[in-house]
């Protein structure tokens, strides 16, 4: 009994490239989406061909290649070039064009802002297709490694240590010169001293840059990247990538890039962007305790309902849970606290003071439960209250009311980062500087949304929705052109009169 026989690769066949790409393949949807975009309106360079000179590549072809590449986890310009030659689907998408890697890389570099606008254009399509629930939004941040090695990241202390080390090395090599017996040993020591002085000059220049900018660290390769802790209990030179995700179908609504390793100052900004993108105000925002910041919560009040759990208080360390600060009840009318044992803690500052203190020494000294409420170093319990305490109390009350809703936060946003990092190879950035990195994150989240949309609607239904969206865009663009020409004709007629 023989083997299953294949067809000889040298056999000539009469069929087109279109026959070799499945009708429900994602490249057909990518091609359709890009074809309906207004490339000139989005700001793409070379959106209109020049009349003279050698013809260039259509930016539509280049954008299609990047969308397909990022969706498949292929981001390098060299690998994208190989894909245009090796992949049947990429060849179909590119219409057998195969630009070199430099042309591919330059397209991304020269169209930073336009590519970011494509992310929002696809968000507009998702909105028209009913892929946004527009009720609950979850936000979170993740650290993504920058294109900068930890060895070429310098803090002020690191620079000082390097300068001191090289000065010590110079002193050591000076002794070697005094003890040198041969001309070769003397020359070697002199060269090492010159190298050390050169490095000291470089580090002193870095110090001057930090003094001028007021910063605390500097990266050689990517000047915008910062040293941040990662989820592996280590540190990386990275960016903090923020994303807001719709809870209905887990589509990414908006995203941002920050140089701050914490999420403290991002709550209002991300929720405000989500409202603008969804064009809806009454949404519920879910964020983890890293976003618990009184100033941010205050900004959100009255504009968006945010559910954020409270961070563990350092004052509760070493105390039984029944005697944590959340169990001390404040009476607004009487202006005092009641402790879990029923004792009254009076205020020892006026109401106009920025930071107020509440305590009762006598009650704490005679309380039978003081070992549960006080640490060994404390003689009595002190509760502090400031201008932001009421804001935090309202936030804590909201969290308790919406605790069941909050449970969906993790399953809404966490898997988005996992898909982008693990499934799409987005665990590190290839581009450098904050502006370019934001463009790359737009491509990654756009690829995720595209993949998610295909899984949600199916290829056939998504193609139909794209057709409807194309007609809608066409009518909108025609109306815009009419208004433009109408205004221009009115101005000319007035000028002629």
Co-location of 350 and 388 in the same domain: yes
Angle at 449 between CA 248 and CA 413, to 5 degrees: 50
Residue 136 is assigned to a structural domain of this protein: no
Co-location of 71 and 41 in the same domain: yes
Count of structural domains within the chain? 3
Q: For tokens 């040293």, what's the residue?
A: 227
Residue 358 is assigned to a structural domain of this protein: yes
- Residue 485 pLDDT level (bands cut at 50, 70, 90): very low
List the single range of 69-83, 340-354, 425-439 with lowest mean pLDDT: 340-354
- Residue finishing a domain among 178, 204, 219: 219
- Cα gap 273→116, rounded to integer Å: 14
pLDDT, tens digit (0-9, with 9 covering 90-100), for 94-120 = 999 999 999 999 999 999 999 999 999
**Residues 133-139: what's their mean pLDDT?**
96
Co-location of 126 and 35 in the same domain: yes
Residue 488 is assigned to a structural domain of this protein: no
pLDDT of 481 > 50? The answer is no
Domain around 356: 314-401
Q: How many CB atoms lie within 10 A of CB 165?
A: 14
Question: 185 and 175 in contact (C-beta within 8 Å)?
Answer: no
Co-location of 157 and 124 in the same domain: no
pLDDT of 338 > 80? The answer is yes
pLDDT, tens digit (0-9, with 9 covering 90-100), for 169-192 = 999 999 888 887 788 888 888 899
Return the closest-CA partner of residue 446 out of 21, 151, 71.
Answer: 71
> For position 474, what pLDDT does the model report?
73
- Residue finishing a domain among 183, 199, 219: 219
Co-location of 118 and 171 in the same domain: no
- Residue finishing a domain among 198, 219, 240: 219
Co-location of 34 and 107 in the same domain: yes
Spell out the residues 6+ positions from residue 215 whose beta carbon is closer than 8 angstroms to its own: none
> For position 66, what pLDDT does the model report?
97
Co-location of 340 and 373 in the same domain: yes
- Cα gap 412→134, rounded to integer Å: 14
pLDDT, tens digit (0-9, with 9 covering 90-100), for 77-86 = 999 999 999 9
> For position 490, what pLDDT does the model report?
53
Residue 135 is assigned to a structural domain of this protein: no
Co-location of 337 and 390 in the same domain: yes
Co-location of 22 and 121 in the same domain: yes
**Residues 359-386: what's their mean pLDDT?**
88
- Cα gap 154→206, rounded to integer Å: 8
Residue 416 is assigned to a structural domain of this protein: no
Residue 445 is assigned to a structural domain of this protein: yes
> For position 494, what pLDDT does the model report?
57
Co-location of 156 and 114 in the same domain: no
Percent of the chain with pLDDT over 70: 95
Longest CA–CA span in the chain (Å) reads 99
Percent of the chain with pLDDT over 90: 70
Co-location of 397 and 318 in the same domain: yes
In terms of pLDDT, which residue wins out, 482 or 196?
Answer: 196
pLDDT of 48 > 90? The answer is no
Helix (H) or strand (E) holding 452: helix 434-457
pLDDT of 142 > 60? The answer is yes
Spell out the residues 6+ positions from residue 272 whose beta carbon is closer than 8 angstroms to its own: 303, 304
Q: Which two tokens stand for residue 143?
A: 């650290």
Co-location of 126 and 81 in the same domain: yes
List the single range of 57-66, 278-287, 374-383, 429-438 with lowest mean pLDDT: 374-383
Supply the pTM of this predicted model.
Answer: 0.86
pLDDT of 477 > 60? The answer is no
> For position 375, what pLDDT does the model report?
83
Q: Which two tokens stand for residue 397?
A: 């009350």
**Residues 235-264: what's their mean pLDDT?**
95
**Per-position DSSP letters for 164-179, written without gaps between them:** HHHHHHHHHHHHHHHT
- What are residue 289's phi and psi, to 5 degrees? -65, -15
> For position 333, what pLDDT does the model report?
86
Strand partners, 336: 331, 346
> For position 230, what pLDDT does the model report?
81
Residue 273 is assigned to a structural domain of this protein: no
Q: How many CA atoms lie within 13 A of 412 on its CB side?
A: 28
Residue 261 is assigned to a structural domain of this protein: no
> For position 211, what pLDDT does the model report?
92
């Amino acid at each position: 009994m023989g083997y299953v026989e294949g067809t000889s690769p040298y056999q000539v066949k009469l069929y087109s490239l279109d026959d070799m790409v499945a009708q429900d393949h994602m490249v057909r949807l990518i091609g359709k989406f890009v074809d309906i975009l207004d490339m000139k309106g989005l700001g793409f360079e070379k959106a209109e061909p020049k009349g003279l000179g050698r013809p260039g590549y259509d930016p539509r072809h280049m954008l299609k290649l990047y969308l397909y590449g990022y969706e498949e986890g292929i981001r390098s310009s060299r690998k994208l070039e190989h894909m245009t030659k090796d992949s049947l689907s990429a060849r179909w998408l590119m219409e057998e064009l195969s630009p070199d890697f430099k042309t591919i890389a330059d397209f991304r570099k020269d169209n930073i802002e336009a590519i970011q606008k494509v992310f929002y254009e696809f968000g507009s399509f998702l909105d028209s297709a009913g892929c946004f629930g527009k009720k609950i939004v979850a936000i979170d941040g993740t650290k993504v490694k920058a294109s900068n090695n930890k060895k070429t990241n310098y803090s002020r202390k690191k620079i000082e240590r390097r300068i001191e080390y090289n000065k010590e090395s110079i002193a050591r090599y000076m002794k070697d010169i005094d003890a040198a017996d041969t001309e070769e040993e003397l020359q070697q020591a002199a060269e090492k001293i010159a190298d050390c002085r050169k490095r000291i000059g470089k580090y002193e220049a870095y110090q001057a840059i930090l003094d001028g900018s007021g910063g605390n660290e500097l990266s050689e390769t990517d000047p915008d990247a910062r040293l941040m802790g990662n989820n592996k209990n280590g540190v990386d030179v990275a960016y903090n990538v923020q994303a807001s995700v719709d809870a209905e179908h887990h589509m990414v609504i908006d995203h941002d890039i920050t140089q701050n390793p914490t999420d403290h100052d991002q709550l209002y900004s991300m929720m405000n962007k989500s409202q603008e993108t969804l064009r809806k105000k009454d949404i519920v925002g879910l964020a983890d305790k890293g976003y618990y910041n009184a100033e941010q919560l205050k900004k959100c009040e009255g504009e968006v309902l945010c559910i954020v759990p409270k961070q563990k208080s350092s004052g509760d360390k070493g105390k039984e849970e029944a005697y944590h600060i959340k169990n001390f009840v404040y009476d607004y009318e009487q202006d005092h606290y009641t402790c879990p044992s029923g004792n009254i803690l009076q205020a020892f500052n006026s109401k106009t003071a920025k930071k107020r203190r509440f305590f009762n020494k006598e009650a704490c000294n005679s309380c039978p439960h003081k070992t549960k409420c006080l640490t060994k170093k404390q003689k009595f319990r002190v509760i502090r209250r400031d201008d932001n305490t009421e804001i935090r109390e309202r936030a804590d009350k909201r969290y308790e009311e919406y605790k069941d809703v909050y449970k969906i936060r993790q399953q809404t946003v966490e898997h988005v980062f996992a898909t982008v990092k693990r499934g799409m190879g987005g665990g590190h950035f290839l581009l450098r500087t904050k502006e370019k990195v934001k463009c790359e994150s737009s491509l990654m989240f756009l690829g995720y949304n595209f993949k998610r949309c295909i899984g949600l609607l199916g290829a056939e239904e998504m193609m139909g929705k794209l057709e409807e969206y194309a007609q809608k865009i066409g009518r909108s663009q025609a109306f815009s052109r009419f208004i433009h020409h109408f205004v221009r004709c009115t101005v000319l007629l007035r000028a002629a009169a």
